[in-house]
Amino acid sequence: MIAAVLPDRLPWWIAGPALGLLVVGFFLVVNQPLGATGAYVETARTVRRVPGAVTWRAWYFVGIALGGLAGVSLQGIGVDPRAGYEVLTGSGSGEFGLSLPVAAVVVFVGAVVMGYGARMAGGCTSGHGICGTAQRSPASWAAMMSFMATAVATTAVINAIG
Amino acid sequence: MAPDTTRKIAGLVFGAGFGLVLAAARLHEYATIHAMLSLEEIDVFLLMGAAIGTSLPLLLVLERARARTLVGGPLALSRSRIQRHHVVGGALFGVGWAVSGTCPAPALVMLASGAGLAAATVAGLFVGLGLRDAQTSRTTGTAPTAGDGEQREVVAAAR
């Protein structure tokens, strides 16, 4: 058994400022935003040995996963193959009852659109949504308002279908 | 310590801190993001607001004070004017975010927490990013430029 060191869910007023301090700290060390999209791009370039690949972004990529594993372990949940996907695969009220292969296709297609959009916009929820807005970048504020609006609208459509 | 070693260690440490906070706040769960975007609970919006509310004023003060970074020279924040691709790319990103129930960083936490479906998400992200890169290099012949939220050329060139 893993002991629960962290609460079941860290409240937003602790997690939010903690995230903000990580963003500031990262700027103070490497002078770069703590964005995840760039980590995917540079990790892919590092693995393919593209000249000029930013190798340390791959270390950051791995770090996110390791920190996540530590997080779920400290919560006393440990490794959980469901991880909240019951919205898609469960058969209760408000759940979609998808079979595992169908759910995999749905999240894959969603992720392709998400990746394409993130690269086009030059950032994602962490890159534009937190790091860019914190730098007071007009482009990041516009990108964030755009993705918030379409994400809420798309979810409304999903809930209407389901 | 060589600057490149510092960057790798900082990447690992700050990445781990980021992943830990995401997991601790349950942002890696499909249900959390779905409830947020269904406007059923406002916690994640407040979390993002608190993150911006903490980092924006601190970065403002540090910028005014002409702070120097450990291995990246003088602190340089980037501010781009709004262009079409920011808004259109953001709109597409939002649709994918709603469908896949996670964004790029929490997807890695999902995968690390053992959620098998997240493998499809991470694979899809690599495909989507690659598609855009392939399209950009075909039409312009150059590598795509980064936005204000991503790896910046300024510092990469100064290494």
Q: What is the 3-state secondary structure (H, E, C) of chain A?
A: CCCCCCCCCCCHHHHHHHHHHHHHHHHHHHCCCCCCHHHHHHHHHHHCCCCCCCCHHHHHHHHHHHHHHHHHHHCCCCCCCCCCCHHHHCCCCCCCCCCHHHHHHHHHHHHHHHHHHHHHHCCCCCHHHHHHHHCCCHHHHHHHHHHHHHHHHHHHHHHHHC
Question: pLDDT per residue over B8-44, tens digit each?
Answer: 999 999 999 999 999 999 999 999 999 999 999 999 9
DSSP helix/strand/coil, B78: coil
What confidence category does residue B158 fall into, taking pLDDT thresholds of 50, 70 and 90? very low
**Residues of chain B with pLDDT > 70: what percent?**
88
User: How far, in Å, CA of B25 to CA of A6, rounded?
Assistant: 10
B57-71, B89-103, B112-126, B135-149: lowest mean pLDDT where?
A: B135-149
| Mean pLDDT of all residues in A81-94 | 80
pLDDT at A129 over 70: yes
Whole-angstrom CA distances from B28 to A112, A131, A137, A154 are 18, 19, 27, 19
Which pTM value belongs to this model? 0.93
- From the CA of B33, how many Å to the nearest CA of chain A? 10
The 10 Å Cβ neighbour count of residue A161 is 7
pLDDT at B154 over 60: no
Question: pLDDT per residue over A8-40, tens digit each?
Answer: 899 999 999 999 999 999 999 999 999 999 999
| Mean pLDDT of all residues in B145-150 | 63
User: How far, in Å, CA of A62 to CA of B35, rounded?
Assistant: 28
**CB spacing of A108 vs B121 below 8 angstroms:** yes
Token pair of B27 as six digits:
């942002």
**CB spacing of B100 vs A10 below 8 angstroms:** no
pLDDT at A80 over 90: no
A-chain residues near B82 (CB < 8 A): 138-139, 142
- From the CA of B143, how many Å to the nearest CA of chain A? 11
**CB spacing of A122 vs B150 below 8 angstroms:** yes
The 10 Å Cβ neighbour count of residue B4 is 12
pLDDT at A4 over 90: no
* CA B31 from centre of chain: 21
User: How far, in Å, CA of B80 to CA of B78, rounded?
Assistant: 7
User: How far, in Å, CA of B153 to CA of B60, rounded?
Assistant: 22
pLDDT at B132 over 50: yes
B-chain residues near A32 (CB < 8 A): 72, 151-152, 155
Among A14, A32, A66, the strongest candidate for a mutation testing the B interface, having the largest count of B CBs within 10 A, is: A32
DSSP per-residue string spanning B96-116: HHHHHT--HHHHHHHHHTT-T
* CA A123 from centre of chain: 11
- From the CA of B45, how many Å to the nearest CA of chain A? 9
What confidence category does residue B87 fall into, taking pLDDT thresholds of 50, 70 and 90? very high
